Structure 1
Amino acid sequence: MGEPVRVSIVAQDPILEAGTRASLQCHGDIAVALSGERAQVAVMMVDRVAPQVMHAVRAGREADQRQEVVLVATELAAGDAVQAFAAGIRGLLRRSECTAERLASTVVAAAAGDCTLPPDLLDGLLEHGQGADARRPGADGVPAPGGSALSERERAVLRLVADGRETEEIARELCYSPRTVTTVVHDVTRRFHLRNRAHAVAFALRAGLL
């Protein structure tokens, strides 16, 4: 086991902050950062994905590009995933679905550079930006999704990504190396001009490839 992921917690409600701190401290892969200590991941507890929240996220990432952000919101609308990932957020969770284990796994995934969000919000990523471009033939001649296919290995990896599994878990389940899993996801995102893991899963679901 390597060094634990250092996490800071931002919440207006001190009771909510204390509860979140206690749940994360019980996880062996996570250490809650002390005041003034740099954190690799910031967990923000908010009511909704409001403009002022996105402004705070962008300001924080400009101040420290190495810090990732996991956002836990009471309310999440259909288009919130687009705003959140555009602002640089790595993890997006509903408070009602945020168990201690799910939050911890999202934090660890964010520290590793992976994206996590509720499955029902994946489609929203395809309604914006490169999602529309991915439906057209790319510069390298890749056909539109209707005429494209994923290999069995790519499907297997993306199914587990869609289930919220981390790279190491996927590698163990499929008997691949973590490097192979990373390469598979990278190949899919590059081939279809997608932005990240979450976008790749949304693309595959929407195109009927999974």
Structure 2
Amino acid sequence: MGDPVSVSVIALDPVLEAGTRSTLLACPDVALVERGEETRVVVMIVDRVGDPELEVLRTTRGVPRPPDVVLVASDLTVAETLHALALGARGLLRRREADTGRLARAVLAAGRGDCTLPPDLLDRLLERSTAPDAGGGDLGSLRGADSLSDRERSVLRLVAEGHETNEIARRLCYSPRTVSTVVHDITRRFRLRNRAHAVAYALRAGLL
């Protein structure tokens, strides 16, 4: 077991912020720090994901050593999710689903560089990315890139849900080394930074 992941909480409602901090205190792998202190992960609680909220996300990430952000919102649309991912969010949860276990899981996934999305939202993103009219902007050229194999898609789906390498290996009946190799091959082929970047890229490019 490594050191606890440092986490701070941002919320406009002080009661909500206090409640979120109390929830995270129940996770022994998390170390809470005060807002404004250097931290590995920021949990951002919002009602909606509009321009002001996205600007806070952009500002939070716009520091020399940017923290990974877990965004918890009342609801999440496909467009809002893509905007948040593009700005560097590494975990997205709906407030009604953010119980102690799920919130801690999203925070710890962000802390190790992984990306977490609600399964139904991931499905909606995948449906959109494969729709005939799903093109747009500079993503059109990405859609012509090398496609993912069925094995690569399966691995990335589970990465997006926040599963660790060993759990992905058990679910897919692969060895942990095979899972790590698959992810490494994807990041190298598309010149991506890490597993979270691979998930965001694949979703936006329609490769999943």
TM-score norm. by structure 2 comes to 0.77
**How many residues were matched structurally?**
194
The farther-off stretch of 113-122 and 196-205 is 196-205
Distance 1:81 1:87, change over 3 A: same
**What pairs with 1:97-176 in structure 2 (closer than 5 Å)?**
97-118=97-118, 119-123=122-126, 131-136=139-144, 138=145, 142=146, 145=147, 150=149, 152=151, 154-171=152-169, 173=171, 174=173, 176=175
Q: Distance in 2 between matches of 1:106 and 1:130?
A: 29
Q: Deviations over 1:41-74 (max 9, x none)?
A: 0101001111111111212222243311111011
Structure 2 partner of 1:17:
17
* C-alpha displacement of 1:108: 0.8
Unmatched runs of 5 consecutive residues or more in structure 1: 206-210
Contact 2:78/2:125 (8 A) holds in 1: no
* C-alpha displacement of 1:157: 2.1
Distance 1:34 1:55, change over 3 A: closer
Q: Distance in 2 between matches of 1:76 and 1:68?
A: 19
Distance 1:59 1:167, change over 3 A: same
Q: Distance in 2 between matches of 1:105 and 1:37?
A: 22
Unmatched runs of 5 consecutive residues or more in structure 2: none
Distance 1:8 1:122, change over 3 A: same
In angstroms, what is the RMSD of aligned CA positions?
Answer: 2.9
Q: Distance in 2 between matches of 1:183 and 1:33?
A: 35
Structure 1 partner of 2:5:
5
Distance 1:167 1:122, change over 3 A: farther
Q: Distance in 2 between matches of 1:35 and 1:7?
A: 9
Q: Distance in 2 between matches of 1:34 and 1:187?
A: 38
Distance 1:5 1:78, change over 3 A: same
* C-alpha displacement of 1:163: 4.0
The farther-off stretch of 92-101 and 1-10 is 92-101
Indicate whether 1:184 and 2:182 are aligned.
yes
SS at match of 1:92: strand
The farther-off stretch of 122-131 and 81-90 is 122-131
Structure 1 partner of 2:202:
200
Q: Distance in 2 between matches of 1:192 and 1:60?
A: 27
Distance 1:36 1:54, change over 3 A: closer
Distance 1:157 1:130, change over 3 A: farther
* C-alpha displacement of 1:198: 4.2
Q: Distance in 1 between matches of 2:52 and 2:18?
A: 23
Letter in 1 for 2:23: S
TM-score norm. by structure 1 comes to 0.76
Structure 2 partner of 1:71:
71
Distance 1:68 1:116, change over 3 A: same
Structure 2 partner of 1:208:
none
